[in-house]
Amino acid sequence: MANPHETLALLDPARFVGEVEGRPTALYRLRNARGMVVAITSLGAKVLQIVVPDRHGVPGDVALGYESLEAVLAGAPSMGAFIGRYAGRIAQARFTLDGVEHHLMANAGPHCLHGGPRGTRHRVFEARQTSDHTLELQHRFTPADDGFPGTLDLRLSYHLSERNELVIEHEATAIEGSGPASFTSHVFFNLDGPGHTTIDDHRLEVQASHLLATDADHIATGERTALQGHPLDLRTAQRLGDVPDIDHAYQIDTLHQPASLRLCARASSPASGRTLEVWSTEPVLQVYTAGQLGNGTAPDVGKQGVHHRPRAGLCLEPQQYPNAPNCPAFPLNRVAPERPYRARTEFRFGVVG
């Protein structure tokens, strides 16, 4: 029988062998018995390929990404990345904790985005593939490196289940001091494949009655906005082409314990029949319809020479509250020696019945 992946351009690990900041880079492939394949590079712990079947059982790639280390370095830094030490924007790249003002490195105008220029998007993780199904990674955060207080050790794992679920678990432990942290996975999904179609025909439902208000720079203000009657109300599934461009954090409705694994969002494509459910223990889901993707001066060239363009992907990013160190109204996730930060997110793939 022919290999069903022969018609797919699976990423070549040889093209990701290299060095960044003196640390060796590599690409790892995870597989399950049902034919699901996920490719992850140790640079940024970036998920660059996810192969799952459509309604006819035909496997296809549903993640945007790049096909070489050089392309990753030249491309969008968030593409597929595991984000840390703090997801989202921190206003004016500073905050005060216990009476001490901490100054971060700005990388989005005057603000600090996704941990700043020394965030995990740009760093090489230590990585070890323990089985066909599982990849384990590690990274240490230090104040001297990124400006955040506290030295944290991060243990991260990617695991494929036999139910076509990509399970992402992390544990951050404070080695010295304490400080805020918020991690997320920044995969760009397209359930029809990373070709020439946008996500406009995708349908999306988010289990949230409130979103977090932001200012003109997309900085969370600490206020919550009720979604009743709001154009971004996604409590019932909406065609994404019928709603405004989205780059907002939704506060996930909590029916059980705050840290329990719960459904955050469902996405589906009528063209491929593929579905995606996002389950997480995290309290907030950032939804990004990639309206700014590929808007730089140089083309953003992905796999098979595809030029990434606005709304070519959908990001569903479970995380802690953005800008919480500057927003007393938000819970602050502070990692301390006696309080590690653990979370679990599951991306569950299927097809419409």
Our CA angle for 24, 27, 28, nearest 5°, is 125
Task: Return the bridge partners of 214, or none.
Answer: 220
Q: What is the pLDDT of residue 8?
A: 80
Catalytic residue among 133, 170, 186, 308: 186
**Active-site residue, 186 included:** yes
Catalytic residue among 67, 277, 282, 317: 317
Give the separation between CA 316 and CA 314, rounded to whole angstroms.
7
98 is in an annotated binding site: no
Give the separation between CA 242 and CA 294, rounded to whole angstroms.
22
DSSP code of residue 241: G
pLDDT digits (tens, 9 = 90+) for 286-317: 999 999 998 888 899 999 999 999 999 999 99
Q: What is the pLDDT of residue 195?
A: 78
Q: What is the pLDDT of residue 4?
A: 39
Helices (H), 184-300: none
Decide: residue 258, CB within 10 A, 0-12 exposed, 13-18 middle, 19+ buried: exposed
**Active-site residue, 205 included:** no
Give the separation between CA 259 and CA 316, rounded to whole angstroms.
18
Give the separation between CA 263 and CA 338, rounded to whole angstroms.
29
Give the separation between CA 9 and CA 301, rounded to whole angstroms.
15
Question: Are the C-beta atoms of residues 207 and 252 closer than 8 Å to each other?
Answer: yes
Q: What is the pLDDT of residue 32?
A: 97
What ranges do the domains of the chain cover?
A: 13-351
Give the separation between CA 324 and CA 182, rounded to whole angstroms.
10
> Residue ranges of the chain with pLDDT lower than 70?
1-7, 196, 255-259
What is the CATH number assigned to the segment(s) 13-351? 2.70.98.10
Q: What is the pTM of this model?
A: 0.96
DSSP code of residue 146: H
pLDDT digits (tens, 9 = 90+) for 50-96: 999 999 999 999 999 999 999 999 999 999 999 999 999 999 999 99
User: Chain-centre distance of CA 295, in angstroms?
Assistant: 20
Q: 146 phi and psi, to 5 degrees?
A: -125, -5
Q: What is the pLDDT of residue 255?
A: 63
Q: What is the pLDDT of residue 66?
A: 98
Q: What is the pLDDT of residue 298?
A: 87
